[in-house]
Amino acid sequence: MLKNRIIPCLDVKNGRVVKGINFVDLKDAGDPVEQAKIYSDGGADEICFLDITASNENRDTIYDVVEKTSKKCFVPLTVGGGVRSVEDINKLLNCGADKVSINTAAVLNPEVVVESSKKFGSQCIVVAIDAKKNSDKWEIFTHGGRNNTGIDAIEFAKKMEDSGAGELLVTSMDRDGTQVGYDIELMFRISSIVNIPVIASGGVGNLDHLVDGIKLGNVSAVLAASIFHYGKHSVKEAKEYLDSKGIPVRI
């Protein structure tokens, strides 16, 4: 049976790990290579690096981090943040990333998704959808959550599947950093409309939130940052908890 995945996410800035509260107010907390190794040794099903300020700054440091991590971690490594072009994707894959997540570029230029999935295969193209609720719909935000595009997130999700995305990483901007749980309705709506796996992100504060994401949101994988990063829970604890709730996990 296919297992639900637990994916710790490390936000990286200038080669160092940070975690934002609603994408601002960053705290420095460690070396990404060492952190990733701790997670993979602890049973993380994948590792995700998000280069959070990459849209605005020199991002060569991330290549170095990816290269070093991929020589130490033998579980899938997803890297996102500031990925603009097919060439950026190529460079990250060559450094050892297994998947690349595309956010702003997928919205501004969906052709990047079409082209890159053809060139490298859908398996390594993850489209990251940052959505915020606006009355009865969810709208897509770009540039690390700063710009509202007004695009309907559910329709966009379907479009990205058709464009060749292999997975969708869905983040609720309302929930990110709040620790009150995933936006279950958003996750459920998107996972119901697409036939590709959905990864839930944004808002995890305790282990029950992971359970809810999978059971109620119907997602294939759950991504979380701060509950793992500040030592509140280990990945192992999370897996044992999910297992106790009848969710299939790799233990």
Token pair 């604890």: residue: 237
Helix (H/G/I), strand (E/B), else coil: 185: helix
Among 36, 48, 83, 93, binds another protein (CB under 8 A): 93
The answer to whether 24 contacts another protein (rule: CB under 8 A) is no
Beta-carbon-side half-sphere exposure of residue 169 (alpha carbons within 13 Å)? 28
Catalytic residue among 45, 51, 88, 130: 130
Tell me if 28 sits within 8 A of 220, measured CB to CB.
Answer: no
Q: Does 11 qualify as catalytic in the annotation?
A: yes
Residues 164-183 that bind another protein (CB under 8 A): 166-167
The answer to whether 98 contacts another protein (rule: CB under 8 A) is yes
Among 17, 65, 95, 184, binds another protein (CB under 8 A): 95
How long is the chain? 251
Name the minimum Å distance from CB 73 to another protein.
9
> Nearer Cβ to another protein, position 58 or 195?
195
Chain centre to alpha carbon of residue 140: 15
The interface region with another protein, picked from 101-109, 129-137, 178-186, 191-199 by CB under 8 A, is 191-199
Tell me if 181 sits within 8 A of 211, measured CB to CB.
Answer: no
Q: Which of 36, 37, 42, 45 lies closest to 2 in space, CA to CA?
A: 45
Among 22, 94, 148, 244, binds another protein (CB under 8 A): 94
The interface region with another protein, picked from 12-20, 73-81, 202-210, 233-241 by CB under 8 A, is 73-81
Among 9, 35, 40, 188, binds another protein (CB under 8 A): 40
First to last CA, the chain: 13
R_g of the chain, CA atoms, integer Å: 16
Give the active site residues: 11, 130
